[in-house]
């Protein structure tokens, strides 16, 4: 059977800032599969007949315990993982949560997450010397191919 591209969905879960604090996004370090040791957004594979929005809401809940009301399309990347012989088209979604929404945040799949989820600013993610490196290939490609993208 020939290799096929798969659809991945990653979600920028955005914690709204205030007049004096910036928005923050949720990030964690992968373990137990391809890209282990890299930082990623919550996300996963699109299931048959599922919308991107449904996938983002489901995956965020399955991985973090957070319940999103909605998610919207942000951008996409084409991700060829040569070493792993994998090819993904990654749909990046975004969803905003309020501080009271995040009290249920936890690592629901500790076998897939190295440590805990972290709230970081866009600048924490985007700057080249960030402590949040290396990035999972789809996020790395997003920064390289969409230099003006921001949350």
Provide the residue-wise pLDDT of the chain in tens; the chain has 151 residues. 568 999 999 999 999 999 999 999 999 999 999 899 999 999 999 999 999 999 999 999 999 999 999 999 999 999 999 999 999 999 999 999 998 889 999 999 999 999 999 999 999 999 999 999 999 999 999 999 999 999 8
Domains of the chain: 6-145 (3.90.79.10)
Contact 18, 101 (CB under 8 A): no
Model pLDDT, residue 1? 59
Quick check: 109 and 65 in contact, CB under 8 A? no
Q: Rounded to an integer, what distance in angstroms lies between the CA atom of residue 79 and that of residue 86?
A: 8
Angle at 65 between CA 89 and CA 60, to 5 degrees: 15
Buried b (16+ CB within 10 A) or exposed e, 79-107: beeeeeebebebbbbbbbbeeebbeebeb
The distance in angstroms from the start CA to the end CA of the chain is 39
User: How far is the C-alpha of 120 from the C-alpha of 22, rounded, in Å?
Assistant: 9
Whether this prediction's pTM lies above 0.75 is answered by yes
């Amino acid at each position: 059977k020939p290799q096929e591209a798969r659809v991945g969905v990653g979600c920028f879960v955005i914690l709204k800032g205030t007049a004096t604090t910036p928005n923050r996004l949720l990030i964690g370090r992968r373990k137990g599969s391809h890209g282990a040791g890299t930082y990623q957004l919550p996300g996963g594979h699109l299931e048959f007949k599922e919308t991107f929005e449904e996938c983002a809401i489901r995956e965020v809940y399955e991985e973090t315990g957070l319940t999103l009301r909605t998610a919207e399309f942000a951008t996409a990347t084409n991700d060829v993982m040569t070493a792993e012989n994998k090819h993904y088209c990654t749909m990046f979604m975004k969803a905003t949560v309020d501080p009271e929404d995040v009290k249920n945040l936890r690592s629901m799949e500790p076998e897939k997450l190295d440590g805990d989820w972290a709230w970081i600013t866009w600048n924490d993610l985007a700057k080249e010397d960030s402590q949040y490196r290396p990035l999972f290939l789809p996020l790395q490609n997003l920064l390289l191919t969409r230099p003006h993208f921001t949350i």
